[in-house]
Chain A
Amino acid sequence: MNDITVTVKLFATLREGRFDIRTMSFFPGATVADVVRILEIPEKEVSLILY
């Protein structure tokens, strides 16, 4: 199966040292968790909580 193309948008502090929007290729069946892992976003930051 071919890779899938995904538009990844990051918000607020997740953009720090990364990007705000980027088109990326992922293996078929990739989940949001895979995106998070590849971008090396710590799990505790995934649910962005504002005060």
Chain B
Amino acid sequence: MDIHNELKKAAREGFVRAVELRRIAASAGIDPASAERAALEAGIVPERYRRNGATISIEQQLKLLDSTAAVIGCGGLGGYVVEELARLGVGRITAIDPDVFEEHNLNRQLFSDEPSLGRPKVASAAARIALVNPAVKIVPLYERFTADSAERQLLGSAVVVDALDSVPVRRELAAACTRLGIPLVHGSIAGWFGQVAVQYPGESTLEELYAGYKGERGVEERLGNPAFTPAVVASLETAEACKIILGIESELRRRVLMIDLLAMSFETISLG
């Protein structure tokens, strides 16, 4: 079948609905991502991306579809990051987390619910994303990020998103990203507070931020995390990840954004 002809027949005012894309993909024997790619290449926008509007051009939507993002941690931050990357249309998402959902995750972790308690977080993430956007290939890795496995886990990613809950592992991740030449979006949260930074290959931003720190976890151990802080910080991280994929320079390069939701202040500190 002539896919482009079928897409043009199915399109309405430059947009094509998911049900039509599924029909065309099934008829042509291709996967949903290939159908989306064919549509975008023909200048037809899948209806699901209509409200990306002028913010994301067709060329950029194609770039997102053909890109891989790795999200390290699939809890408070990572759940929202995976969800937003998938809705944005990033074609391949590697989600890494060795944990299962526990009851104390329910106050903030997007993919957690009572039936999922005891289930691997990445399994819930994969199930959710399959429902949200079947064009997105999610690769759930029910395992820890380690320096030794970094190459297998991260290579091929356009960007890595830090959604970890351990300072030493975060530093290992930053070192691995430098070694592999992958930009890293860092985010961390505690209570009303959060911070976001971007580290490009060759930079030592994370080492500078956490210089001298000897412990495992930060002030979050005392402050905990309410529902809204991970959502805010994860969204900021996703915005930076989106820009990195699209080749837009991050304003958080060599800077750290300090977020205080109690004072409702956002301040950027230069790292020199």
Residues of A within 8 A of B (CB): 9, 11-13, 15, 20, 46-51
Partner of A49, one of B191, B215, B263: B215
CB distance from B159 to the nearest CB of A (A): 21
On whether the beta carbons of B210 and A51 are closer than 8 Å, the reply is no
- Write out the residue numbers on chain A whose beta carbons fall within 8 Å of the beta carbon of B213: 47, 49
Q: Mark B191-235, 1 if CB is under 8 A from A, else 0.
A: 111110000000000000111110101111101010000000000
Query: What's the minimum C-beta distance from A49 to chain B, rounded to whole angstroms?
Result: 3
Partner of A50, one of B189, B211, B267: B189
The residues of B that contact A48 with a CB separation of less than 8 Å are 218-219
How many residues of chain B get a CB closer than 8 Å to chain A's CBs? 28
Given contacts A47-B212, A51-B188, A51-B225, contact A12 B193 (CB under 8 A): yes
Contact digits for B146-187, partner A, Cβ 8 Å, 1 yes 0 no = 000000000000000000010100000000000000000000
A20 to B258 CA separation, bound complex (whole angstroms): 13
A48–B211 CA distance with the chains assembled, in angstroms: 10
B210 and A49 form a contact (CB under 8 A): yes
Q: Residues of B contacting A9 with CB < 8 Å?
A: 267
Question: Is B190 within 8 A of A50, CB to CB?
Answer: yes
Hey, which chain B residues are within 8 Å of A51, CB to CB?
A: 165, 188-190, 217-221, 225
Q: Do A50 and B210 have beta carbons less than 8 Å apart?
A: no
- Give the distance in Å from the alpha carbon of A22 to the alpha carbon of B36 in the complex: 55
Docked complex Cα distance between A13 and B223 (Å): 9
Q: A12-B219, A13-B223, A51-B219 are in contact. List 19 more A-B contacts (CB 8 A).
A: A11-B260, A11-B267, A13-B190, A47-B209, A47-B212, A49-B188, A49-B215, A49-B217, A49-B218, A49-B219, A50-B188, A50-B189, A50-B193, A50-B195, A50-B218, A50-B220, A51-B188, A51-B217, A51-B220
